[in-house]
Chains A and B, each alone.
Chain A
Amino acid sequence: MTASEPLLSIRDLTIGFSTQNGFAEALHGVSFDVMPGETVAIVGESGSGKSTTAHGIINLLPENGKVTGGEVLFEGCDLVKLSRNEIESVRGREIGFVPQDPMSNLNPVWSIGFQVKETIRANGIATSKRDVEKHAIDVLKQAGLDDAERRLGQFPHQFSGGMRQRVLIGMGLSATPKLLIADEPTSALDVTVQRVILDNLAELTMLNNTAVLFITHDLGLAAERAEKLIVMYKGNIVEAGDSREILQNPQHPYTRRLVAAAPSLASQRIQAAVEHKTVDEPGGEFDLALAAEERVHEIDAEKHDSTPVIEVTNLTKTFKIRRGNFRSENFTAVNNVSFSVAKGTTTALVGESGSGKSTIAKMALGLESITSGSISIEGADLASMKRSGLMTLRRRMQPVFQDPYGSLDPMRNIGDIIGEPLRVHKFGTASERSQRVRELLDQVALPQELFNRYPNELSGGQRQRIAIARALALKPDIVVLDEAVSALDVLVQAQILQLLAELQSELGLTYLFITHDLAVVRVIADNVVVMQKGEIVETGPTDEVFGNPREAYTQNLLDAIPGANIELAV
C-alpha cells in the first residue's frame, strides 16, 4: 500500500437504531478518510453520532443498532461485510480501541494482569505463560505505569482513573494495531492527568506509525491533538479539514458556536482581551469570552461592598481510614485552609481530584463535620450552630451538584422537585408555592409546561437548570456549585454559565464554585483559590492568577488547558 492511499475510508455510512418508536437513523451518510499514521479528530456534542461512527467501524454497536448502508473500507476490505469471526480478528489486532470512561471499562472482578494478558493471548502476540507475562509488563510500562510487575496482581478498584486509562490505552495498543480508535479517552480525567496521558498516547502512536481516530467533545483538545478535524452535528459532518484552519476560520454556523462556547478557547481570548484591551467580536449566540468581559465591567461599575459572606479560617478536616484488624490511620483531606468570599462575587475553588475542594463545599453546607478551624456564614459560626440554626442557614445557602442525572429524584415530577425546599421550609400556601415554582421555571428559562413532567424526559442541560431552580427556590444569598457544569456538553455548559452569570447580577447572588476545569473558572470567577492535596497553593483575583501565576502548580494547571497554545484569530 502506498502512503497516498487511505488506511480507513468511510463512504456514505448510515447507522440506525430500532427504538420503541420504530427505526431511527442516527448517522446520515458520513464519509471521511484516515491516512496511515495520521491523527483525525471527530468533534461534536453528545448525540451528534461521533461515538456511533466509532463503534460502527468495528461493529461494536449495541444490539439494537445496525449499519444500514455505506462502506467501511479498511485497507481496501469492507468491514461491514465481515462475519463475526472475521471482525473479531480485526478488532484488537488491526484496529485498537480505547473507550471513554476508565471507571466502567475494566471488569471489576478480574485483576489488571488477567485483563491485559487475555488481550495479548487473544491477539496471538505470545502464547507461553512466561512470554505473555513479559509482554503484559511491557505493555503497562509503555503506557506509563510504574512498577508494572506488582500492578499485574491488583484490581481495577485499586487504580485511579488516570491509571485505569493507561491500562486501557496499553491494551488498545498491545497488538500494535494500524489504527487506534480513541473514544473520548480522557474526558473523565483531570486536565493535568489528561495532558500526561495524551502525550504518552501521541508518543506511542508516533513510534509505531499508528493512525488515530480521536473522538472528543472538546474543540480545543481536538485541535491540539489532531492534524485533521471533522465536526459532526446530528449525524452529519458539517465541516472537515485542517484543524488550525477550522479553529481560526470556522465556516459552518455550528462550528462557530462550538468555537465560541469552548471554555478552553474562551479563556485564551479573555487573556488576549485583557492584555490588548481589544474589543471582541461576538462569535455566536453564546460567546463565553464576551459574557465574561461584560461581567468584569459590571462588577467594576457596581462597586460592591467587600464584606465577606463566607469566611473560612484555619479549616482542617481529618478522616479516619480503617486499615483492617482494628487499626486505623488519619488522613487529612483539608489542611489549615483560610479564604473569604465577598458578597455578590464568585470565588472558584480549583484543584485536581483529591485536592479537598469538595470536602470544603460539604463542610460549608453543613453536610460534613469540621475537625478544626471555623466557617462563618455572614458572621454566624457554622460549627456552633444547632439544628434550627442550620435550617435557617440552609434557607440562605443552597447547593447545586455535579450530576444532573443523580441529583433529581426520578419518581417525582419537576414541580415537586423544585417545590420541595419551599415545603420543607413551610413557605406560603400550596397555590403560592406552585406560583413560585412557575416563577422559577421562568427564571431559568424553561417552559412552565415542564411542571408536571419527570426528570427522565429532560436533557442534561434542562436537568441542571431544574437543579439551579431548586437551589434558588428559597431566594438564597449564597449558592454552592459543586462541579455544576462539569458533566455537560460545551454548548450546554456555555448556556448554563451564562444563566448563572445573569442570575448573579439580577439577584445579587454569591457563588462558591467548585471545579477542576480552569477554563470554566476563567469565565465565571472573580477570585480563585487553587488547592493541592488539601492545602491552598495560590489565591487571588482571577485575572491576576491566570495572567501571572506565582506557583509552579498553578502554571502547570494552566498549561494543561487543552488548546491553550493554539494561535487563534482573535
Chain B
Amino acid sequence: MLRYILLRILQAVPVFFGTTFLIYFMVFAMPGDPILAMFGDKTPNPAVLEALRAQYNLDKPFIVQYLLYIGDIFQGNFGISYSGREVSEILVRTFPVTLKLAVMAVVLELILSISIGLFSGIRKGKFFDNAMLIISLVLMSLPIFVIAFLAQFFVAIQWGWASPTVGGNTAWWNMLLPAIVLALSLYATSMRLMRGSTVETLGNDFVRTAYSKGLGRRRVIPVHVLRNSLIPVVTNSATNFGILIVGATVTEGIFNVPGVGNTLFQAIVRGERPTVVSFVTVLVIFYVFLNILVDLLYAVLDPRIRYV
C-alpha cells in the first residue's frame, strides 16, 4: 500500500515537469507581446517597456525563463499577474468557488447516473430504459454551452427560477443552475456506463446463486448488483475530471462564476503567462492526487485489488 502510494507520487514528478514545460512553451509561442498589450493603444516609453520586460524575465531566453519560473514555484512563489496581483492570491480566491461548483455537479451527476443507470439496467429493453437512453443520447449530442444557454434563457430569464448569472454571490443555492448544467454534461456517459455494467453484473453466475440461496430482489439488487456495478463508474469518474474542468470553464464563463475556469480563460485570452501556467500546474497536481484517491477507493470497492 505504502509502496504503491510512493510509486504513484513518483510518477507524478515527470507529469508535473512535462505539463508545466508544455504549457509554458505554448504560452511563450502565442503571438503578440503581452507587455505591449498592457498599454492598449498607447505607445509605451521604451525604458518602461524594458523595465517591465526585465521584471517578468521576458528578456531572457525561453529555457532560462522556464527554469526561473519553476524555481519560483518551488519557493511557493506563483508569480505576479500582469495586473499586478499575486497569482497565489487569485488562486486562493477562485479555487474554493470552482471546487464548490465541481463537487455539487459531481454529486448530482453520480446520484442521477447511478440510480437511473441501475434501474435502466434492471429494466433493460423496457419503456423506462428506452426513454432514458434517448434522453442520454440527446444530452450527449448537445454541447455544454448549448445546455448552458438553454438553461440560462428558460430557467433563469423566462421562468425566473434562478438568477442568470452568479457574480459575487457564490452561495451554493445561487450556483445550483450552473452545477446542474455541468452535471448534465457528465451525466450521459456515466449513466450509460452504469446501465451497461448493471446488465453485465445481472448476468453473472453469483447473482443467480444469490437467488438460489433464497434471497429476495430487495437484497440481491443493492448488495450483489449495485456494488459490483459501481466499480467501472468510479474509475471513469476520475478520468472525467478533465472534461469537468473544460465544462467548468465554459459554464463559469456563461454564468459569470468567479472561479478557476473563468479566470483561466481570461488569462489565456490576455496571454498572462504566470497566471495560465500556475493555474494549470495546480490543476495537474490536483488531477494526479484525485486519481490516486480514486484508485484507492477502487480497492475499497473491490477486495481483489490489493496494491503491493
Contact = CB atoms under 8 A, between A and B. Distances in A.
| A, B in one complex | yes
Interface of A: 55, 58, 60, 62, 84-85, 88-93, 96-97, 99-101, 104-111, 118-119, 122-123, 155, 157, 168, 171-172, 175, 322-326
Interface stretch (B48-56, B141-149, B205-213, B279-287): B205-213
A77 to B, nearest CB: 16
> Which 10 A-B pairs rank lowest in CB-CB distance, beginning with the nearest?
A92-B214, A97-B212, A324-B308, A104-B205, A119-B213, A107-B206, A91-B214, A105-B209, A155-B303, A105-B205
Contact of B212 (A84, A99, A118): A99
Given A91-B213, A108-B304, 6 more contacts: A60-B212, A90-B214, A91-B211, A107-B206, A122-B215, A122-B219
A111 B227 CA distance: 13
B301 to A, nearest CB: 7
A142 B210 CA distance: 21
Given A91-B214, A107-B228, A323 B209 contact: no
A151 to B, nearest CB: 14
19 contacts: A60-B211, A93-B214, A97-B212, A99-B212, A104-B204, A105-B206, A105-B208, A106-B209, A107-B206, A108-B302, A118-B213, A118-B223, A119-B214, A122-B219, A157-B304, A168-B209, A172-B212, A325-B3, A325-B308
Interface in B175-218: 203-206, 208-217
B219 to A, nearest CB: 7
Nearest to A181: B212
A100 B304 CA distance: 22
Interface of B: 1-3, 203-206, 208-217, 219, 223-224, 227-228, 231, 301-304, 308
A157 B228 CA distance: 15
B208 A99 contact: yes
Contacts of B213: 91-92, 97, 118-119, 122-123, 171-172
Contacts of B206: 104-108
Nearest to A103: B205
A322 B212 CA distance: 38
A104 B209 CA distance: 10
Contacts of A96: 212
Contacts of B308: 322-325
Contact of B209 (A62, A97, A322, A324): A97
B68 to A, nearest CB: 38
Nearest to B214: A92
A200 B213 CA distance: 20
B2 A325 contact: yes
Nearest to A322: B308
A93 B2 CA distance: 46
**Most B C-beta atoms less than 10 A away, residue of A100, A109, A168, A322:** A109
Contacts of B1: 324-325
Contacts of A324: 1, 3, 308
Contacts of A118: 213, 215, 219, 223
Nearest to A90: B214
A323 B307 CA distance: 10
B303 A91 contact: no
A101 B219 contact: no
B208 A88 contact: no
A122 B214 contact: yes
A105 B210 CA distance: 9
A101 B205 contact: yes
A155 B224 contact: no
Contacts of A325: 1-3, 308
Nearest to A120: B213
Contacts of A123: 213-214
B3 to A, nearest CB: 6
Contacts of A122: 213-216, 219
